[in-house]
Amino acid sequence: MAEREETGWPSDWSERIAGKDCPMCRDLGKGDKEHAVHVYDGTVTEVHLARRTAVRGYCVVTWKGPHVADPTDLAPDDAARYWMDVLEVGRAVRAVYDPVKVNYLLLGNWVPHLHTHVVPRYLDDPAPGGPLSWERLVEVPPTPAEQLHREAEALRAAVSGPTSD
């Protein structure tokens, strides 16, 4: 993979947008990853829990269909399924972690494969009342794997559990 440049988009950006050597496509269906443990598969997504996070419960929801860069690249039915999966993760995160707010980030400025960062926010998190920078979010020691797997189990239970209606 090309080195991150000081400013500007990576030199192979158009190839990345097209999915060439996409690391997220490559890792689909492979369970735990270097940076995250597998939680469950949604209808059209895979859900992972980040190993390094300043806020407990930070999940990444990844589109598991053929490579696309943005939600606008999806057909309407697939786009609806994608958002329903994202919302389901948001509900599970609220049920398990009781955050004061949940942030939904669609970035993909380095790996442009459709995914959404579901980031719970807390009263005492590193940037109360404002956006949490990437550095503050992930530049912390990894959570022990045992704890992450326990949390993944709780999230799965929240998703499959009874709804309020």
- Report the interface residues with Zn ion, using CB under 5 A: 19, 22, 24-25, 67, 113
Minimum distance of Zn ion from residue 72's CB (angstroms): 16
The CA–CA distances, whole Å, from 40 to 12, 61, 105, 143 equal 32, 10, 20, 19
Among 2, 29, 98, 24, which residue's Cα sits nearest to residue 57? Answer: 98
Minimum distance of Zn ion from residue 61's CB (angstroms): 14
Residue with Cβ nearer Zn ion (27 or 125): 27
The CA–CA distances, whole Å, from 102 to 32, 33, 57, 122 equal 23, 23, 10, 9
Q: Give the CB-nearest residue to Zn ion.
A: 22
Minimum distance of Zn ion from residue 19's CB (angstroms): 5
Residue with Cβ nearer Zn ion (48 or 67): 67
Beta carbons of 24 and 62 less than 8 angstroms apart: yes
Residue with Cβ nearer Zn ion (114 or 155): 114
| Separation CA 61–CA 67 (nearest Å) | 14
Rounded to the nearest 5 degrees, what angle is found at the Cα of 52, between the Cα atoms of 104 and 153? 75
Residue with Cβ nearer Zn ion (48 or 121): 48
Minimum distance of Zn ion from residue 32's CB (angstroms): 18
**DSSP secondary structure string, 69-93?**
SSGGGS-HHHHHHHHHHHHHHHHHH
Minimum distance of Zn ion from residue 70's CB (angstroms): 12
Residue with Cβ nearer Zn ion (41 or 91): 41
Rounded to the nearest 5 degrees, what angle is found at the Cα of 56, between the Cα atoms of 100 and 118? 70
